């Protein structure tokens, strides 16, 4: 099972939804970076369950423990091991699913691949696995902020058929966190909250889109041809649970434009560095960052596990019906926001360190 990401700033996540805990080992973080549990805990608080009626009622403090790699408040350059213990696991809630496959979930495919699966909460297929990513992403975020003043911010751009109006240039963390949906458009946020709550009450779920911007990314990040920056961003983001689509810049809308409509004209910029008058490229051209804002979007499907009864089969391939128990998000979008930010931070930190190797050549 592949549980690793990155070339220089590398992570390996571990743990299952209803096991003893979940976490991550980070290798390649530079030494002497000031780091405390509070730096990591802030992002975990935004990811944790039980934040509102719009999320799973599972109650977890998600307190992170730094087991290695930090001494006297600074990173050592050695592997950093982070652990979050599971405290509110209820595996008995999934007993009915031991022999039934949940529609559109990873139950059948995991068993088909490995010949075994942890049916308690989905095991590694549970979104609880993303705790390790968010914790590692918080360290990557701090590294990027200190070495390059890079800021990464995500928000809920749409839920089901409801779209928000968001300006990627001016949106702030305060705008995003003012809404339980994490949508910075107050009018759209109110409608989204109603729609998610209605889906929750009827035992159904909704999907949507998370938008994200990375500001102050220096030009030159990316490793064409097989590790173009947008390719690695897509890989990281599409590895998130329930993610189904990735767009950067104009995305698929660009296919409806002509070349002259889509191109980003260059204009003189400050410090002798050119700028682009528009940003339909989304901050990346030829697989390499151009110094403009990186703007991307990630589509998430409706949560697969729902309380409404559905057709399925059991492990003997006999027809059955299933109304899934357990505790689940009626919409993954509000908690996916810090997950998207984490993956973007991890990819950018890795590429920043890879570029340092190029810069060091005579």
The 10s digit of each residue's pLDDT in 37-55 is 999 999 999 998 766 667 6
For residue 40, count other CB atoms closer than 10 A to its CB: 25
Place of tokens 């899934």: 324
Residue 101 DSSP SS3? coil
CATH number of the domain bearing residue 307: 3.60.150.10
Identify the band that residue 169 occupies on the pLDDT scale cut at 50, 70 and 90: very high
Alpha helices in the chain (DSSP H): 37-47, 107-114, 130-148, 173-177, 186-201, 229-238, 259-262, 333-359
Q: Is residue 196 a contact partner of residue 131, using CB atoms and an 8 Å limit? A: no
Q: Is residue 279 a contact partner of residue 208, using CB atoms and an 8 Å limit? A: no
φ, ψ of residue 21 to 5 degrees: the values are 180, 175
The 10s digit of each residue's pLDDT in 202-216 is 999 999 999 999 999
The span from the CA of 44 to the CA of 137, in Å, is 10
Q: Is residue 3 a contact partner of residue 113, using CB atoms and an 8 Å limit? A: no
Q: What angle do CA 163, 201, 130 make, to 5 degrees?
A: 65
Query: Domain of 135?
Result: 4-359
Report the domain count for the chain.
1
pLDDT(93) > 70: no
Dihedral angle sign, alpha carbons of residues 96, 101, 103, 105 = positive
Identify the band that residue 1 occupies on the pLDDT scale cut at 50, 70 and 90: low
> Mean pLDDT over all residues of the chain?
93
CB-based contacts of 190: which residues, under 8 Å, 6+ apart?
A: none
pLDDT for residue 328 = 78
pLDDT for residue 78 = 98
Residue 131 DSSP SS3? helix
pLDDT for residue 325 = 66
pLDDT for residue 336 = 97
């Amino acid at each position: 099972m592949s549980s690793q990401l990155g070339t220089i700033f590398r992570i390996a996540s571990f743990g299952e939804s209803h096991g003893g805990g979940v976490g991550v080992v980070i290798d390649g973080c530079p030494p002497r970076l000031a780091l405390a549990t509070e730096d990591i805990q802030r992002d975990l608080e935004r990811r944790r369950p039980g934040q509102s009626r719009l999320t799973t009622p599972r109650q977890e403090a998600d307190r992170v423990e730094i087991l290695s790699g930090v001494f006297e408040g600074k990173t050592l350059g050695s592997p950093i091991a982070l652990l979050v213990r599971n405290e509110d696991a209820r595996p008995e809630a999934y007993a009915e699913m031991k022999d039934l496959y949940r529609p559109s979930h990873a139950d059948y495919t995991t068993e088909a691949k490995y010949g075994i699966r942890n049916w308690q909460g989905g095991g590694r297929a549970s979104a609880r696995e993303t705790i390790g990513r968010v914790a590692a992403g918080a360290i990557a975020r701090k590294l990027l902020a200190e070495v390059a003043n890079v800021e990464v911010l995500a928000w809920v751009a749409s839920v089901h058929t409801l779209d928000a109006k968001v300006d990627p240039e001016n949106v702030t963390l305060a705008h995003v966190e003012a809404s339980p949906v994490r949508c910075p458009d107050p009018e759209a946020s109110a409608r989204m909250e109603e729609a998610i709550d209605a889906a929750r009450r009827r035992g159904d779920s909704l999907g949507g889109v998370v938008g994200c911007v990375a500001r102050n990314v220096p030009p030159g990040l990316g490793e064409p041809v097989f590790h173009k920056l947008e390719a690695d961003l897509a890989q990281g983001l599409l590895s998130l649970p329930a993610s189904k689509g990735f767009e950067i810049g104009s995305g698929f809308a660009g296919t409806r434009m002509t070349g002259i409509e889509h191109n980003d004209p260059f204009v003189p910029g400050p410090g002798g560095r050119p700028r682009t008058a528009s940003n339909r490229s989304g901050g990346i051209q030829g697989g390499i960052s151009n110094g403009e804002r990186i703007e991307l979007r990630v589509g998430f499907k409706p949560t697969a596990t729902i309380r409404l009864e559905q057709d399925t089969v059991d492990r003997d391939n006999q027809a059955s019906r299933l109304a899934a128990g357990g505790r689940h998000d009626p919409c993954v979008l509000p908690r996916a926001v810090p997950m998207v930010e984490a993956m973007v931070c991890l990819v950018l930190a890795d590429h920043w360190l890879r570029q340092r190797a190029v810069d060091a050549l005579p």
